[in-house]
C-alpha cells in the first residue's frame, strides 16, 4: 500500500511513541488525524487520510446513506463495531459447547468428528478419504484434554480480539476458518492415514501468524511476537502427541491470508481480499484431493 501523509510510518515519525488513550499500556506512534490522541491497532480506524479514533468516527459517521458509504474503516476495510470481541466469544462458546458434549457423550462422538485420513487398512473404511470431508472442519472444534482446550482457548482470547478489531468480523472469521482448514489439510496430507488428530491449534497458529503480519504492517516491535512464535514452534517439535502438521499448515495459511488482507491496495481492497481467500481455499481443496487420490488409488 502506498504511504500517504497520514500513514502509520509518517505519523509515528512526527509524534513519537505514546500510550494509547484507551489502552495506556500499549505504546503506539500513531495518532488520530482529527483529535491527535495516540491510538493502538485495536482502536485505529482507517479514514480517507490516516487513522481516526473510535470516538471521532462515531461523531462524524452520521446516519444517512452517504455517511454510511464514506464511514471510516479498519486497516483491512472492516466496519467499526461496538463489540470487537463478538466473533471471538462465539468461537470460544462453540469450542466449549463441543467439549462439554464430548464429556457427556464419550469416545464415540470423538471418533465421529476427529480428523482421520482413512481406516480402510484396519477394515473399518471411514475417514476423509471415504468422503467424510466434514472431519476437516469438525476436528477444529474438538478437544478432549482439559489442558488442551484451556491452552487453545486462552490463546484464542489473547490473539483473537486485536485481530477481530483490526480486520473486521467477516475477515477475521474467514482467517480463522481458513487457518484451521489449512492445518487439517496438511495433517491429512502428511500424517499417517490412521492417525487421528483434533483441536483448534491449527487455527490458533493461524492467528499467531496473522498477528505477526499485522504488527509488521503497523511497524511495531516484532521481537515479542517472534519470541512467542519461536517458543510455540519449540513446543510443537519437542512435545509428544502434537500434530505438528496442523500447526505449520495453520501458521502458513494464517500469515498468507492476513498479508493479503492488510496489504491490499485500498482502491481494490475487496477484490484482492476475496481473491486471497478464494485462492487459499482452492489450494486447501487441491491438497485434500491429491491426498484422497493417494489413499484411494
Known catalytic residues are 201, 247
Q: How many CB atoms lie within 10 A of CB 169?
A: 18
- Separation between Cα atoms, residue 139 and residue 58, nearest integer Å: 40
Alpha helices by DSSP H, the chain: 8-15, 54-61, 65-69, 86-105, 107-113, 135-138, 146-167, 169-190, 201-217, 223-238, 244-262, 269-296
Q: Is-contact 161 42, C-beta < 8 A?
A: yes
- Separation between Cα atoms, residue 208 and residue 229, nearest integer Å: 7
Cell readout for 273 is 481480499
- Separation between Cα atoms, residue 178 and residue 184, nearest integer Å: 10
Amino acid at each position: 500500500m502506498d504511504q500517504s501523509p497520514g500513514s502509520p510510518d509518517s505519523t509515528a515519525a512526527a509524534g513519537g511513541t505514546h500510550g494509547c488513550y484507551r489502552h495506556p499500556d500499549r505504546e503506539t506512534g500513531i495518532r488520530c488525524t482529527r483529535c491527535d490522541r495516540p491510538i493502538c491497532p485495536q482502536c485505529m480506524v482507517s479514514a480517507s487520510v490516516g487513522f481516526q479514533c473510535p470516538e471521532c468516527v462515531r461523531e462524524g459517521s452520521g446516519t444517512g446513506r452517504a455517511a454510511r458509504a464514506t464511514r471510516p474503516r479498519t486497516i483491512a476495510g472492516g466496519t467499526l463495531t461496538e463489540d470487537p470481541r463478538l466473533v471471538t466469544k462465539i468461537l470460544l462458546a462453540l469450542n466449549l459447547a463441543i467439549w462439554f458434549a464430548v464429556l457427556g457423550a464419550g469416545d464415540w462422538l470423538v471418533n465421529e468428528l476427529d480428523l482421520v485420513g482413512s481406516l480402510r487398512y484396519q477394515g473399518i473404511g471411514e475417514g476423509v478419504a471415504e468422503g467424510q470431508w466434514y472431519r476437516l472442519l469438525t476436528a477444529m472444534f474438538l478437544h478432549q484434554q482439559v489442558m488442551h482446550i484451556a491452552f487453545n482457548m486462552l490463546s484464542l482470547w489473547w490473539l483473537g480480539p486485536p485481530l477481530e478489531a483490526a480486520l473486521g468480523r467477516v475477515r477475521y472469521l474467514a482467517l480463522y476458518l481458513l487457518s484451521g482448514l489449512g492445518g487439517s489439510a496438511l495433517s491429512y496430507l502428511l500424517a499417517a492415514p490412521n492417525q487421528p488428530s483434533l483441536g483448534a491449534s491449527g487455527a490458533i497458529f493461524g492467528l499467531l501468524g496473522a498477528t505477526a503480519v499485522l504488527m509488521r504492517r503497523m511497524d511495531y516491535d516484532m521481537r515479542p511476537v517472534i519470541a512467542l512464535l519461536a517458543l510455540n514452534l519449540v513446543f510443537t517439535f519437542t512435545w509428544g502427541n502434537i500434530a505438528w502438521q496442523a500447526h505449520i499448515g495453520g501458521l502458513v495459511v494464517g500469515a498468507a491470508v492476513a498479508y493479503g488482507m492488510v496489504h491490499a491496495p485500498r482502491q481494490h481492497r475487496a477484490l484482492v481480499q476475496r481473491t486471497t481467500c478464494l485462492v487459499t481455499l482452492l489450494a486447501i481443496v487441491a491438497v485434500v484431493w491429491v491426498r484422497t487420490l493417494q489413499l484411494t488409488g
